[in-house]
């Protein structure tokens, strides 16, 4: 069974928590799915100082959580469809997704990724992008299992 980690920097863990928990529950028959939320005083302080400090604080947290095939979400990333997304899931038994904080992800961190994708050309609130990612993970797992969720 695959392991999928969704790593995010966010203050409020409760944003869309019920919906995300539902996608995690529905995905359990196909994969182990973990929602890793990081936010601490160091990140809060760094964000109040500015972009460079914030990006450094994100890197410190994220570099310790690189496991398997590494995917960053970035607005300038590659646009892929649900079938291509499902293919990535099928080819990798362990995947870590990374969603940037208020200032995104550092160039240094993105260079360490196996793939950088964009969910949409639109600018989305962090919490909405995260919910969309969980839905697409579930959809991709269903595609790979031949489940009728993806019609």
Q: What is the pLDDT of residue 125?
A: 84
Q: CA separation (Å) from 102 to 46, 99, 105, 112? A: 11, 10, 9, 20
Place of tokens 């995260």: 130
Residue-level pLDDT at 33: 97
Tokens of 114: 């196996």
What are the Cα distances from residue 71, in Å, to 18, 94, 126, 133, 141? Answer: 24, 11, 16, 12, 16
**Average pLDDT by stretches of 10, the chain with 151 residues:** 94 85 97 95 94 96 96 95 98 97 95 97 88 98 91 69
What token pair was written down for 5? 């980690």
Query: Whole-model pTM above 0.85?
Result: yes
């Amino acid at each position: 069974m695959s392991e999928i980690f969704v790593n995010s920097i966010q203050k409020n863990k409760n944003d869309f928590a019920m919906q995300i928990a539902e996608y995690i529950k529905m995905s359990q028959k196909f994969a182990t799915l973990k929602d890793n939320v990081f936010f601490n005083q160091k990140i809060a302080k760094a964000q109040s100082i500015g972009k460079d400090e914030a990006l450094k604080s994100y890197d410190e947290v994220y570099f310790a959580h690189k496991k398997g095939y590494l995917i960053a979400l970035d607005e300038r990333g590659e646009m892929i469809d649900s079938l291509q997304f499902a293919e990535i899931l099928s080819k990798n038994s362990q995947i870590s997704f990374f969603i940037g904080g208020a200032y995104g992800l550092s160039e240094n961190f993105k260079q360490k990724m196996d793939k950088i994708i964009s969910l949409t050309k639109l600018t989305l609130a962090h919490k909405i992008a995260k919910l969309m990612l969980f839905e697409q993970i579930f959809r991709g797992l269903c595609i790979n299992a031949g489940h009728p969720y993806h019609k």
